[in-house]
Structure 1
Amino acid sequence: ESGKTVDVNARPKGNQTITFEALSDRIYGDAPFQLTATASSGLAVSYSSSDPSVASVSGNELIIHKTGTVEITASQPGNDAYNAATAVVQSLVINPKPITVAAENKTKVYGEENPSLTYVYDGLVNGDTKTATEPAISTTATAASGVGVYPISVSGAADANYSISYA
Structure 2
Amino acid sequence: MSTLYIKDSPFMEGFSAYLASQTVSTSAQLINWDLTAPFFGSPDFNATSGNYTVPVTGRYWIAATVNYSLNNPVTLGIGGSVYPNFQVRRSLPISTILVSSLLPVLNLNVTLLNIRAVLGNAGVTLAGEADLTAGDVIGLYYAANGLTLTLSIGLGAVNGVMWVVQRLT
TM-score (norm 1): 0.28
Higher relative contact order (CA 8 A, sep 6+): 2
TM-score (norm 2): 0.28
Structure with the higher fraction of residues in strand conformation = 2
